[in-house]
Structure 1
């Protein structure tokens, strides 16, 4: 009799759990993306998830003649096609463009989130092995199409960021910063890369970026977290979720700023020379949280990850607690919306896209997986003031859309954004395997 009663109670409990899961999953957004964007986003109560909401745009690529949609007054065309998962861009002084054809190293990890991440890699076209190379693109006649496409550098380990410094090209692998001598006009690197510094590699956030700092003698290098909220232990996050300041001559580094879950895109504001970055925030707090963001970064800043988001809102899932940090968690300057996956960042000073886009920041949004409906999958523009801050009350302006069709399928996904030598905006599309070029129909003098 007792066994029968326990079995009945067990069945009732199972049904109750099933109902709760059905009601709570998948979590659907209750706010428009733009309500959680801008200088004062709407931060609502979290809706924690055990089973994550999964929503992605299945990749289908671009057919001949298909292309993204651009804002009024602009045009778009392919700059280069037939690439293998192009994600990061760098323009050399002579106008040549380097593109990192790269992908995640083999992933490890189990549990629900590990299964979800491995499943998603295949669904979004990110499961192909990394090409581990840098390709050089050259548009010698200035027509907006690269007539030269050649392998520039190989033998790398999931490379992303690149920068020239003191006549050497620095490349940020997933686990190390390396450098090689570079001569202007060079189309192939044969020198063996020299190790500068090592740092943790792989994890959920494997891509690294590197740029020159404003002091002229150091570099900024971003290293994302290995997990969502340090669920594998905070000890596994040493020298992660940070921006490092690297001293190339000494081959050392220090933590410049911390609490940045995944700060990928970095750039110096042309008006102030301050460091700015875009950051991917945490998952599984519901479709309306937490907003990815664009922010200035100063030495010693801590933005709260994993304990806090948006300047002090606690994430109660994180253990052990860190109550002392709450009052010191810096609030970001500008929200971009929840789960948009902001990756690329470039200021407008080198672009010629007209007065509307003359002062501000372009952001490449790779697109959501943990939100219904989808968010991101586009390039947006954030207007700035002459004083170097996002314009008061401004919301992100759509610049390039159409990466996702009406059926929720992805022709492509934008990653990095960079200016070319002629004032056009280049966009790395890692699902469409294309570099797109956005330009004004007629040459427009920059308003700066």
Structure 2
């Protein structure tokens, strides 16, 4: 009898990657030009908004080995740059000004040749198109067929929050197309740049916000911009519809010098609004909704998704690499990385542990990051969006970094959990018995400190790591006399 480790990493491991113990990551072998939003559509089919070509592309598994290896363009429209959604037989995508949709048939066998304009006039204030302001328009649908569109600020710190909102559209009657963006309900106000949006397992919308740059307050230490303001993980409950989340008037503390700060997550007034009497620190703490989790300044969170564990019997055939049950309901965040911090930060994927009620249980924990001490990747890898495929594996888009006038590091990475598959066969006709990895190898309890990270990829270290994990599982299972075969 034997015990097989599922393939250490299905393809060549992502270079210079450091992962939580038990996980591996590899690049999907398909060339793609600056992928932004991504959506899984089955075990190995991936839909992506390809910014480089202003199009929607489909990555498919042509040879049936469980990994996408071919691509085809489904649709194009002017200036598509980020947003992507699938809903009720239509694929939706956004430019800085418009939201479009295309009808499609099963498995994208056919797609409308030309787009239908669904929402227009997003830049009605005349400040929206590049190079003026944030130009991504994240789009998402809820379970009641309502469309949410997030728009970021015009500048670093605007005069008001007119642009920096999430609007909601409840009636997408085609006879009303195109719908004027300004007719949308203000679902959430005062969000500087809420690029990532996702619904948790309870149907509540969450978002990740990119904070402002160049923060100086003389009473708090002068130039405090390296570690402030915090990037934010926000929750948008239905009872808070229309409420204000603070931008541009207020900012959130991440790290201030001892004796000056009041602790991570504390709200403060932005210096210019404090000086002109528009708002006080106390008003920022009492009148606005603060983040659920405050995160490292300038790490640039762009993507968020939640893990929904499924019973293995409900998964598609031949699924391997799905994340463990102990991570059910956790939030997973993609950090694009900093451009204006003395020491770069971000460029990674983290998770925020959540309890069964959807409450966050602490700080983000690194899942996939560059090996220490550098945060940024020579390859150009910069995570944008995250989603789980139908097997429970995490896919991560990277739109790359501009190097020597071109983008390097564009691609899609898949992260898998390395479960141990057991064939404990006491007799030749006995059925195989699977070890429950959820009880054998639980995810470390969330703490402020990071869990142990696997060593940088090398054959010898990986080999030793696999042996140690496998032996640990063997001892727990009480099967010390079973032969061991590692592949």
| Fold in common (TM above 0.5) | yes
Deviations 1:82-102 (A, max 9, x none): 211111102236863111111
In the superposition, the TM-score normalised over structure 1's length comes to 0.72
**Residues 101 and 118, structure 2, Cα contact 8 Å, conserved in 1:** yes
* DSSP 3-state at the match of 2:107: coil
Q: How does 1:215-294 map to 2 (within 5 A)?
A: 216-230=144-158, 233-234=159-160, 238=162, 240-247=163-170, 248-249=172-173, 250=176, 251=179, 252-270=183-201, 272-285=202-215, 286-294=225-233
Q: How does 1:366-385 map to 2 (within 5 A)?
A: 366-385=336-355
Change (3 A) 1:94 1:373: closer
The answer as to 2:296 corresponding to 1:337 is: yes
Q: How does 1:406-425 map to 2 (within 5 A)?
A: 406=374, 409-411=377-379, 412-425=381-394
Query: Where does residue 155 of structure 1 map in the other structure?
Result: 77
* DSSP 3-state at the match of 1:433: strand
Query: Where does residue 14 of structure 1 map in the other structure?
Result: none
Query: Where does residue 427 of structure 1 map in the other structure?
Result: 396
**Residues 329 and 358, structure 2, Cα contact 8 Å, conserved in 1:** no
Deviation at 1:350, TM superposition (A): 5.0
**Residues 57 and 73, structure 2, Cα contact 8 Å, conserved in 1:** yes
Deviation at 1:140, TM superposition (A): 5.7
**Residues 335 and 348, structure 2, Cα contact 8 Å, conserved in 1:** yes
**Residues 79 and 144, structure 1, Cα contact 8 Å, conserved in 2:** no
Deviation at 1:196, TM superposition (A): 1.3
**Residues 261 and 305, structure 1, Cα contact 8 Å, conserved in 2:** yes
Q: Which moved more, 1:348-357 or 1:66-75?
A: 348-357
Deviation at 1:190, TM superposition (A): 4.0
The answer as to 2:152 corresponding to 1:209 is: no
* DSSP 3-state at the match of 2:106: coil
Determine the C-alpha separation between the residues in 2 that align with 1:385 and 1:139.
Answer: 35
Determine the C-alpha separation between the residues in 2 that align with 1:403 and 1:172.
Answer: 35
Question: RMSD value over aligned CA atoms?
Answer: 2.8
Determine the C-alpha separation between the residues in 1 that align with 2:394 and 2:437.
Answer: 13
* DSSP 3-state at the match of 2:28: strand
The answer as to 2:131 corresponding to 1:172 is: no
Change (3 A) 1:80 1:160: farther
Determine the C-alpha separation between the residues in 2 that align with 1:164 and 1:399.
Answer: 27
Determine the C-alpha separation between the residues in 2 that align with 1:433 and 1:195.
Answer: 29
**Residues 347 and 376, structure 2, Cα contact 8 Å, conserved in 1:** no
Q: How does 1:108-127 map to 2 (within 5 A)?
A: none
Number of aligned pairs?
350
The answer as to 2:7 corresponding to 1:78 is: no
Q: How does 1:378-397 map to 2 (within 5 A)?
A: 378-391=348-361, 394-397=362-365
Determine the C-alpha separation between the residues in 1 that align with 2:369 and 2:375.
Answer: 15
Deviations 1:223-279 (A, max 9, x none): 11121101xx54xx63x2111102322535121101100001111110x21111111
Deviations 1:184-240 (A, max 9, x none): 1115534321111121243332111111124x121111111121101xx54xx63x2
Change (3 A) 1:316 1:447: same
**Residues 352 and 365, structure 2, Cα contact 8 Å, conserved in 1:** yes
Change (3 A) 1:209 1:446: farther
Determine the C-alpha separation between the residues in 1 that align with 2:90 and 2:437.
Answer: 30
Q: Give the greater-gyration-radius structure (CA).
A: 2
Query: Where does residue 448 of structure 2 map in the other structure?
Result: none
The answer as to 2:416 corresponding to 1:439 is: yes
Change (3 A) 1:161 1:321: farther
Q: Which moved more, 1:369-378 or 1:322-331?
A: 322-331
- If asked which structure has higher relative contact order (CA below 8 Å, sep 6+), I would say 1
Deviation at 1:173, TM superposition (A): 1.8
Determine the C-alpha separation between the residues in 2 that align with 1:334 and 1:180.
Answer: 36
Deviation at 1:418, TM superposition (A): 0.6
Change (3 A) 1:407 1:209: closer
**Residues 346 and 375, structure 2, Cα contact 8 Å, conserved in 1:** no
Query: Where does residue 113 of structure 1 map in the other structure?
Result: none
Deviations 1:9-28 (A, max 9, x none): xxxxxxxxxxxxxxxxxxxx
In the superposition, the TM-score normalised over structure 2's length comes to 0.66
Deviation at 1:382, TM superposition (A): 0.4
**Residues 210 and 222, structure 1, Cα contact 8 Å, conserved in 2:** yes
The answer as to 2:271 corresponding to 1:316 is: yes
Deviations 1:408-439 (A, max 9, x none): 55421111011112211000011111100001
